[in-house]
Structure 1
Amino acid sequence: MKKQLLSFIGVFMLLVTGVSAQDFQGIATYKTQRKIDIKMDSTKVNDAMQTKMLEMMKKQFQKTYTLTFDKTSSLYKQEAELDKPQIGGEIMMSFGNSGDDVFYKNIKDKKYIDQKETMGKKFLIKDSIVAIDWKLEKDTKHIGEYMCFKATYTKQVPKRNFNFSSNSNKKDDAEEEEKEPEMTERTITAWYTPQIPVSNGPAKYQGLPGLILEIHDGTLTVICSQIVINPEEKVEIVEPAKGKEVSQEEYDDIMDKKTKEMMERYAPRKGSKGEGFSITIGG
């Protein structure tokens, strides 16, 4: 089945005209959104306030990105936007990202560079692209004018639950930190089009026989809303170079530590009248 599908895609790509030139370039626009669940003490925060906070947090994760790409490399960057209402500024700085962040990929050299600004510090994360074990499915659909094919893969991911509670106990929290995080299995679904013959996509998603136009990864949804092939103004893809150079593992360790420090700082003290709450973010 997989070989037959690959053969069909290969023939389909040969039938596509005007996109196989040596100087082939493009710009794709993606919109993202993420589901969030907030649980708060109902005796201290009414339903209307909880609903308002949930809507405001959802808007924090509704972003627009542009993917500038050629045959072998790409830049993925958030578009400039008006300031959104903030909820706990430092909390959002930890869970969100800066508008100056740039994600560079070189498919040919199998490397990426992720320039991030987190909690006021710039990082330059350099690491290798990890191959994704995609399963090519037979399902198809159109996204705009492009015929797309479905692909999936399954991975183990840690459950995320950020608990800011006055009922927490430091001893219990320390014991909790020593435990391995609870893992859950997740299936990621992608829709890609062989009509744009680049093995690329938004953020860290890539490795399919065509540009990825849609991603469903847990509570995260990424959908392409516009594509310009071979724009009049030549595309420039330059590796980002600002920030402290670290590996992905080193950056993850730094963020883990900073997040725990932030949670401890903002959690209400035991016996205080401040309301406790937890935020669950999948993916």
Structure 2
Amino acid sequence: MKKYTLIFLLLFTFGINAQNISGQAYYESKTTVDMDAFGGGREMSEEMKKTVATMMKSALEKTYVLTFNKDESIYKEQEKLDASPINPGFKMMMSSYTPGAQYKNLKTGQIVEENEFFGKQFLVTDSIQTLDWQTTNESKQIGQYIAFKATAIKKVDPNDYSMARPKRDRKDENEKENAEVKKDTTKPEDPMDMIEIPKEIEVTAWFTPQIPISNGPGEFAGLPGLILELNFYRTTLLCSKIVMNPKDSEKIEPPTKGKKVTRDEYTTIVKEKTDELRENFRGRGGNDRRGGGFGG
């Protein structure tokens, strides 16, 4: 990571004692969805486009709170009433990559998440992903803080549907097979057939040395200052409010509810159940409301 005199000058000027620092940062997530790009505007009906757009918006646009100190943090979604008409199977797949309480320990490099998937609680443990951040002198004002720009390339889990994008048009597709599919009007449209997961994405972060903790929303960390804004693919996480050294704040400790699994184990569970759900969806004409379940 590059080092810049300006950053260290800011740290010296503001003179914050990171040893005793604590606070709460509120983040708003916004995601844009280009529905015209789905299926090249051919396979997906206007009604299906509207349905998928509603599901994506409800699944990805949320408010989060990061409660932090020098070495630890707990990141949670603020609860809200959601009356959107969402296919339960799609909602479960999306929520599998929108964790519950998410704890990070910067000293040990560990991250612990509470996830609920198909009615079962999981406690997922993993190492904090280390990104090769490239910092710059580019800066901007976010609220009352000066933030500097940094970028990195992040690998994406192949089952992370929160990173879904429209499939590219492929000229090498078997035209005969496509024609047969189009003729079968009884076959339900599976929204998952119209999206793909990128292998990697570019992440842009804006961090402030005025709050000298190496933390940020979700799984992100590793910069010389709190991350105030994150941009990746079509999603932006923007800090809307910061309360420093609050008198009353949530206790920072790892979550404990759920079956303990590693990240790889949880990814396998999600993939198996997602594949099962899609088969049920196709077999029941797109009207499967149960979504399967876990045995035992």
Range into which the TM-score falls when normalised by the shorter chain = 0.7 to 0.9
Distance 1:116 1:9, change over 3 A: same
TM-score (norm 1): 0.79
Q: Distance in 1 between matches of 2:42 and 2:149?
A: 46
- Which sections of structure 2, spanning at least 5 residues, go unmatched? 168-177, 185-195, 288-296
The secondary structure found in structure 2 opposite 1:2 is coil
TM-score (norm 2): 0.76
**Residues 20-62 of structure 1: CA distance to partner in whole angstroms, max 9, x if unpaired?**
1643210000111333455489899863663365245313321
Q: Percent identity?
A: 37
**Residues 203-257 of structure 1: CA distance to partner in whole angstroms, max 9, x if unpaired?**
0110000000111111222111100000122541021011010111111111111
Bigger mean CA deviation after superposition, 138-147 or 45-54: 45-54
Query: What residue in structure 1 maps to residue 173 of structure 2?
Result: none
Given that residues 139 and 149 in structure 1 are in contact (C-alpha distance below 8 angstroms), is that contact kept between their aligned partners in structure 2?
Answer: yes
1:91 deviates by 1.5
Q: Which amino acid aligns with 2:12?
A: L
Alignment partner of 1:32 out of 29, 34, 54:
29
Query: What residue in structure 2 maps to residue 51 of structure 1?
Result: 50
Q: Which amino acid aligns with 1:212?
A: I
Given that residues 65 and 79 in structure 1 are in contact (C-alpha distance below 8 angstroms), is that contact kept between their aligned partners in structure 2?
Answer: yes
Given that residues 57 and 87 in structure 1 are in contact (C-alpha distance below 8 angstroms), is that contact kept between their aligned partners in structure 2?
Answer: no
1:266 deviates by 1.0
Q: What's the Cα RMSD here?
A: 3.4
Distance 1:54 1:156, change over 3 A: same
Query: What residue in structure 2 maps to residue 278 of structure 1?
Result: none
> What count of residue pairs does the alignment treat as equivalent?
257
Q: Which amino acid aligns with 1:188?
A: V
Bigger mean CA deviation after superposition, 20-29 or 151-160: 151-160
Q: Distance in 1 between matches of 2:62 and 2:240?
A: 12
The secondary structure found in structure 2 opposite 1:54 is helix
Distance 1:56 1:90, change over 3 A: closer
Given that residues 40 and 50 in structure 1 are in contact (C-alpha distance below 8 angstroms), is that contact kept between their aligned partners in structure 2?
Answer: no
Given that residues 79 and 99 in structure 1 are in contact (C-alpha distance below 8 angstroms), is that contact kept between their aligned partners in structure 2?
Answer: no
More helix per residue: 1 or 2? 2
- Which sections of structure 1, spanning at least 5 residues, go unmatched? 170-180, 276-283
Q: Distance in 2 between matches of 1:109 and 1:153?
A: 22
Given that residues 55 and 91 in structure 2 are in contact (C-alpha distance below 8 angstroms), is that contact kept between their aligned partners in structure 1?
Answer: no
1:190 deviates by 0.4
Q: Distance in 2 between matches of 1:267 and 1:189?
A: 38
